[in-house]
Every structure is written in structure tokens, then in C-alpha cells.
Amino acid sequence: MPADRVTSRPARAHAVQVKGFVWGISTLVTSLFDWPLRNISGGLLASRTMPVRSSTQSYDANLAAELWDASAELAKLPAQPQL
């Protein structure tokens, strides 16, 4: 096996770890600045979000029950929660 192939796997694994770390730090920094920016600016900065009503299907109790039963069956869990 060539020497460059032996060292490339650990280098790739290290690169993946570094990318994950950088992503995590950037997410944390963004989260730390999000609320203060919205609060200080009175909603003028970083506030393109707005509440929307959910679809009508999400309020259907029969559909919810069918989904619950299908999920329980796939997960091999009882359909009714046991307390």
C-alpha cells in the first residue's frame, strides 16, 4: 500500500472533525447574536421570520391517529402508551 494512502485516511478524519467544530462554533456564535440583534434593533435586523398557520391536515385527528398507529407498528411499539 502506498504511503500516501496510509496517511490520507487520518487526515480526512481530522478534516471532518475540524469542519464539524467550525460549523458548531459558527452556529453557536450566530445563535448568541441573533436574539440581541432582534431585541436592540426593535426587529429591524435579523427578523424575516413570521408565524404562519399550519396546514389543515395537521389538525386532522383521524390522520394523526393513523400516523401514530403506523409509527408504532414500524417501531414495534404498542399503539397505546403504557403508563
Residues 38, 50: Cα–Cα separation, whole Å = 13
Question: Residue 63: inside a domain, yes or no?
Answer: no
Question: Residue 73: inside a domain, yes or no?
Answer: no
Q: Would you give per-residue pLDDT tens digits along the chain (83 residues)?
A: 555 555 556 667 777 788 889 999 999 988 888 878 878 887 777 667 778 899 999 999 999 999 999 999 999 998 887 77
Question: Residue 62: inside a domain, yes or no?
Answer: no
Question: Residue 17: inside a domain, yes or no?
Answer: yes
Q: Which of 19, 37, 17 is nearest to 29 (CA)?
A: 37
Question: Residue 74: inside a domain, yes or no?
Answer: no
pTM over 0.75: no
Question: Residue 2: inside a domain, yes or no?
Answer: yes
Number of domains in the chain: 1
Contact 78/71 with Cβ under 8 angstroms?
no
Q: Which of 47, 26, 48, 27 is nearest to 37 (CA)?
A: 47
3-state secondary structure of 48: coil
